[in-house]
């Protein structure tokens, strides 16, 4: 307990300094170090998160994180054994050219990843080629005015039929580019393989598949701007809001997010203060038809660590208000089955560390939508590299989730209650 209070007090002190000294979007300290620490249980990891560091990945009790020199000093004073394994900005610079080779493109060698404009083209082409089963629209606009694309895939896509609706969302976090490719994989598979693959055909005929391939296009574009990666997580509103701390269920309740605008887990000024979360939430709210939420299941893709996660994140307890034992058991059962298919590790999300304002807590707490997060490839990495697998990994690592996606789509037909 003592350690937690002290870490929080330190973050409080930094707020003041940063507000005075830092330019609008810069990190508060120029020096960002990559560190590893041993934090065997979720309580210890929650302590790290509360100190304001940016947790990149967790594997077998080893946490990889970005911390400022001050945060590292304080954590060491609090008894954490931190290993400094690199300089963040130098490691990122090594991945790029430093100059912009082509405007609006991924760094050399990674061009198979889709930029926002390539993604837009691909979705438009999908609709043009498969008009009967694919409809492209938008749930709104990002802070910088990019369309938040929504593509619906179903037989008779133009009609709102009485079929379970299943939502897939990707790229809430800017640097998690592999997830955008995951959503595109879902779009391409359920359109290209319709009529030839019996599973695909059956699911498209009996479900309404809704895909939002990038919830954070501004952040993703910023992350690849200037010819090298930036390790950027948040949206681009002010100094950035962590979209996965901005959802309006138990927002900011439990020390699972930061009130400090420069933190990488800044929760925003109020629930849904980010236009991106507001737009997706408004869309989900709009799917309540005659008092019944049409969306029965949701899957949000992140990277990295190879995990299958389910709510709640705001509490360590398995059951809580709005989560009965039977419901928690169903999350575990389906989570474990999906994990068996892709080789990820299944757990309640607070087993990783406490978060508040995450999308899963809102989807379930507010709408009883059966909502999961996948943390994609790799299982572990030496830090930021984990966000930037070479584009050769896109095919294998997105196909790897085909079966898990099918499991969730089938589950969606069983209704919200276990
Ligand atoms: C990430 C990790 C992710 C997060 C873990 C998490 C997912 C927590 C879902 C709660 C719910 O950034 O990919 O910290 O947002
Ligand atoms: Ca490309
Ligand atoms: Ca249909
Ligand atoms: Ca419908
Ligand atoms: Zn993420």
pLDDT band at 5 (very low <50, low <70, confident <90, very high): very low
The region of weakest confidence among 82-96, 298-312, 330-344, 387-401 is 82-96
The region of weakest confidence among 18-27, 201-210, 257-266 is 18-27
Q: Say if 108 falls within a structural domain.
A: no
Q: Say if 109 falls within a structural domain.
A: no
Give the number of whichever ligand sits closest to the CA of residue 132.
3
The region of weakest confidence among 8-12, 35-39, 96-100 is 8-12
Ligand 1 contact, 358 CB (< 6 A): yes
Q: Say if 219 falls within a structural domain.
A: yes
Q: Say if 418 falls within a structural domain.
A: no
Q: How many domains does the chain have?
A: 2
Looking at the fold, whether 194 and 303 belong to one and the same domain comes out as: yes
- Predicted confidence at residue 29, as pLDDT, reads 56
Q: Are 347 and 328 in contact (CB under 8 A)?
A: no
Residue of 256, 379, 376 lying closest to 311 (CA atoms): 256
Q: Where are the beta strands (DSSP E) in 173-243?
A: 208-212
Looking at the fold, whether 403 and 338 belong to one and the same domain comes out as: yes
Q: Where are the beta strands (DSSP E) in 171-294?
A: 208-212, 288-289, 292-293
In the chain, pLDDT over 70 holds for what percent of residues? Answer: 90
Looking at the fold, whether 282 and 166 belong to one and the same domain comes out as: yes
Looking at the fold, whether 91 and 132 belong to one and the same domain comes out as: no
Looking at the fold, whether 372 and 257 belong to one and the same domain comes out as: yes
Task: Evaluate the CA torsion angle 328, 333, 334, 335 in order and state its sign.
Answer: positive
375 is catalytic: yes
Report how far apart, in Å, the C-alpha atoms of 207 and of each of 22, 42, 256, 335 are: 49, 37, 35, 20
Work out the average pLDDT over 209-237. 97
The protein residue with its alpha carbon nearest to ligand 1, atom 1, reads 302
- Predicted confidence at residue 12, as pLDDT, reads 26
Task: Evaluate the CA torsion angle 178, 179, 184, 188 in order and state its sign.
Answer: positive
Residue of 259, 317, 293, 303 lying closest to 371 (CA atoms): 293
Sequence-distant (≥ 6) Cβ neighbours of residue 335 within 8 angstroms? 308, 309, 310, 346, 347, 372
- Predicted confidence at residue 179, as pLDDT, reads 99
| DSSP bridge pairs for 290 | none
Question: What is the domain-level CATH number for residue 225?
Answer: 3.40.630.10
Last residue of a domain, one of 66, 95, 124: 95
* Cα(379)–Cα(376) distance, integer angstroms: 8
**CA-atom Rg of the chain in angstroms:** 20
* Cα(130)–Cα(223) distance, integer angstroms: 32
pLDDT band at 306 (very low <50, low <70, confident <90, very high): very high
Q: Is the pLDDT of residue 373 over 70?
A: yes
Last residue of a domain, one of 95, 130, 146: 95
- Predicted confidence at residue 86, as pLDDT, reads 86
Helices (H), 78-146: 88-95, 116-129
Q: Is the pLDDT of residue 287 over 90?
A: yes
Range of the domain at 63: 8-95
Give the number of whichever ligand sits closest to the CA of residue 190.
3
Sequence-distant (≥ 6) Cβ neighbours of residue 30 within 8 angstroms? none
Average pLDDT value over all residues in the chain: 90
Q: Say if 78 falls within a structural domain.
A: yes
The token duo for 44 is 């210890």
Q: Are 310 and 332 in contact (CB under 8 A)?
A: yes
- Predicted confidence at residue 97, as pLDDT, reads 62
Which H/E stretch holds residue 348?
A: strand 345-348
Looking at the fold, whether 121 and 237 belong to one and the same domain comes out as: yes
Pairing of strands 82-87, 32-38: antiparallel
Q: Is the pLDDT of residue 270 over 90?
A: yes
Place of tokens 């938040």: 148
* Cα(244)–Cα(171) distance, integer angstroms: 10
| Atom of ligand 1 at shortest range from CA of 313 | 10
What distance lies between CA 41 and its chain's CA centroid? 22
Residue of 42, 56, 171, 244 to mutate, ligand 1, most atoms within 8 A of C-beta: 244
* Cα(204)–Cα(327) distance, integer angstroms: 27
- Predicted confidence at residue 98, as pLDDT, reads 56
Looking at the fold, whether 135 and 265 belong to one and the same domain comes out as: yes
Q: How far apart are the CA of 355 and the centre of ligand 1, in A?
A: 8
- Report DSSP state, residue 245: G
Give the number of whichever ligand sits closest to the CA of residue 347.
1
Looking at the fold, whether 69 and 188 belong to one and the same domain comes out as: no
Looking at the fold, whether 166 and 306 belong to one and the same domain comes out as: yes
Q: Is the pLDDT of residue 23 over 50?
A: no
Residue of 101, 114, 347 lying closest to 226 (CA atoms): 101
Work out the average pLDDT over 36-52. 89
| Atom of ligand 1 at shortest range from CA of 244 | 15
Helices (H), 264-392: 275-286, 325-342, 359-367
What are the phi and psi torsion angles at 214 (to 5°)?
Answer: -140, 120
Q: Say if 157 falls within a structural domain.
A: yes
213-265-397 Cα angle (round to 5): 35
Last residue of a domain, one of 43, 65, 95: 95
Question: What is the domain-level CATH number for residue 24?
Answer: 3.30.70.250
Work out the average pLDDT over 188-203. 98
Q: Say if 163 falls within a structural domain.
A: yes
Q: Are 75 and 51 in contact (CB under 8 A)?
A: yes
* Catalytic annotation, pick one of 375, 397, 403, 411: 375
- Predicted confidence at residue 14, as pLDDT, reads 23
Establish whether the linkage from the previous residue to 304 is cis, with ω within 30° of 0.
Answer: yes
- Predicted confidence at residue 15, as pLDDT, reads 23
Place of tokens 């929504």: 150
* Cα(190)–Cα(153) distance, integer angstroms: 7
135: left (phi over 0), alpha (psi -120 to 50) or beta: beta
Q: Is the pLDDT of residue 347 over 90?
A: yes
Q: Is the pLDDT of residue 145 over 80?
A: yes
- Predicted confidence at residue 370, as pLDDT, reads 98
Looking at the fold, whether 77 and 123 belong to one and the same domain comes out as: no
The region of weakest confidence among 34-38, 268-272, 316-320, 411-415 is 411-415
Q: Is the pLDDT of residue 6 over 70?
A: no
Looking at the fold, whether 68 and 125 belong to one and the same domain comes out as: no
The token duo for 263 is 């933190």
Looking at the fold, whether 272 and 368 belong to one and the same domain comes out as: yes
What distance lies between CA 400 and its chain's CA centroid? 18
- Predicted confidence at residue 211, as pLDDT, reads 99
* Cα(52)–Cα(49) distance, integer angstroms: 5
Q: Exposed, middle or buried, 385 (CB in 10 Å: 0-12/13-18/19+)?
A: buried
| Atom of ligand 1 at shortest range from CA of 311 | 11
Q: Say if 203 falls within a structural domain.
A: yes
Q: Is the pTM of this model over 0.85?
A: yes
* Cα(303)–Cα(412) distance, integer angstroms: 24
């Amino acid at each position: 307990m003592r350690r937690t209070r002290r870490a929080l007090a330190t973050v409080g002190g930094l707020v003041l300094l940063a507000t005075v000294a830092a330019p609008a979007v810069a990190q508060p300290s120029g020096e960002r170090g990559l560190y590893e620490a041993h934090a065997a249980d979720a309580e210890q990891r929650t302590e790290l998160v509360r100190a304001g560091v940016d947790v990149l990945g967790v594997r077998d009790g080893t946490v990889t994180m970005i911390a400022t020199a001050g945060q590292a000093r304080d954590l060491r004073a609090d008894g954490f054994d931190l290993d400094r394994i690199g300089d963040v900005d130098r490691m990122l610079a090594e991945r790029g050219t430093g100059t912009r080779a082509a405007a609006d493109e991924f760094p050399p060698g990674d061009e198979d990843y889709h930029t926002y404009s390539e993604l837009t083209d691909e979705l438009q082409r999908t609709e043009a080629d498969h008009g009967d089963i694919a409809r492209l629209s938008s749930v709104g606009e990002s802070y910088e005015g990019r369309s938040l694309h929504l593509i619906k895939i179903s037989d008779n896509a133009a009609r709102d039929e009485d079929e379970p609706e299943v939502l897939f969302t990707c790229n809430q976090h800017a640097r998690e580019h592999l997830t955008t490719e995951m959503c595109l994989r879902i779009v391409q598979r359920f359109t290209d393989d319709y009529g030839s693959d019996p599973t695909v055909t059956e699911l498209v005929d009996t479900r309404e598949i809704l895909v939002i391939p990038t919830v954070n296009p501004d952040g993703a574009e910023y992350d690849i701007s200037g010819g090298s990666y930036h390790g950027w997580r948040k949206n681009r509103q002010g100094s950035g809001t962590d979209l996965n701390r901005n959802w309006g269920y138990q927002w900011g309740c439990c020390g699972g997010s930061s009130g400090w605008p420069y933190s990488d887990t800044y929760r925003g000024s109020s629930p849904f203060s980010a236009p991106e979360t507001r737009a997706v939430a408004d869309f989900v709210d709009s799917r309540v038809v005659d008092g019944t939420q049409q969306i029965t299941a949701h899957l949000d893709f992140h990277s990295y660590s190879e995990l299958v996660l389910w709510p709640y994140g705001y509490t360590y307890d398995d059951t809580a208000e709005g989560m009965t034992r039977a419901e928690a058991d169903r999350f575990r059962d389906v989570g474990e089955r999906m994990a068996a298919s892709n080789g990820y590790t299944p757990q309640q999300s607070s087993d990783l560390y406490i978060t508040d304002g995450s999308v899963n807590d809102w989807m379930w707490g507010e709408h009883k939508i059966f909502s999961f997060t996948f943390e994609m490839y790799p299982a572990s990495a030496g830090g930021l590299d984990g966000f930037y697998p070479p584009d050769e990994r896109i095919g294998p690592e997105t196909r790897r989730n085909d079966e898990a996606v099918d499991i969730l789509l089938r589950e969606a037909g069983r209704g919200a209650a276990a």
